[in-house]
């Protein structure tokens, strides 16, 4: 079996991680919105899947989010573009393409490995 080294992994959280988001840009115009609630479903160095009760008009407008949550008691901040949306009962799933640089990606990988190891040690 051949593995591509440049492909990153995606970590699925058994229990979603609670956080917040705000809209950073709306149609390429910077704005400062009030924070909204979210839960992180899965995470990779280049993307994040979130769920929130808020319905964002991503099909008609380009929306960039600032996402904040804690992982291993460390604050994580991700900025990214909403690339897809799916209605799930009374909430909405969003796929976010993260704008992380190489250093930020390395930090996320380290924190995800630490989180996974802690979870494995508990079981």
89-114, pLDDT tens digit by residue? 999 999 999 999 999 999 999 999 99
CA distance 110 to 123: 20
Percentage of the chain surpassing pLDDT 70? 93
Over the chain, what is the mean pLDDT? Answer: 91
pLDDT given at position 63? 97
Structure confidence by residue, pLDDT tens digits, 39-72: 999 999 999 999 999 999 999 999 999 999 999 9
Instruction: Check which CATH number belongs to the domain holding 46 and give it.
Output: 2.40.10.220
pLDDT given at position 40? 98
Closest of 108, 102, 38, 50 to residue 81, by C-alpha: 50
Residue 6 lies in a domain: no
Residue 2 lies in a domain: no
Number of Cβ atoms within 10 Å of the Cβ of 72? 13
Strand partners, 77: 68
Domains identified in the chain, total number: 1
Phi, psi of 3 (to 5 degrees): -115, 140
The answer to whether the beta carbons of residues 78 and 96 sit under 8 Å apart is: yes
Q: How many residues does the chain have?
A: 123
Residue 53 lies in a domain: yes
The model's pTM: 0.88
Q: Residue 72's domain spans which residues?
A: 11-122
pLDDT given at position 10? 87
Residue 1 lies in a domain: no
Q: Is the pLDDT of residue 77 over 50?
A: yes
């Amino acid at each position: 079996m051949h593995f591509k080294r440049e492909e990153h992994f995606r970590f699925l959280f058994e229990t979603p991680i609670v956080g917040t988001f705000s809209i950073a840009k709306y149609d390429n115009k910077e704005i400062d919105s009030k924070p909204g609630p979210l839960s992180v479903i899965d995470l990779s160095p280049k993307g994040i899947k979130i769920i929130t009760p808020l319905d964002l008009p991503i099909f008609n407008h380009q929306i960039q989010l600032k996402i904040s949550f804690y992982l291993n008691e460390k604050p994580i901040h991700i900025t990214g573009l909403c690339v897809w949306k799916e209605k799930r009962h009374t909430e909405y799933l969003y796929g976010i393409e993260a704008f992380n640089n190489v250093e930020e990606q390395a930090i996320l990988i380290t924190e995800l490995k630490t989180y996974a190891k802690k979870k494995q040690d508990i079981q």
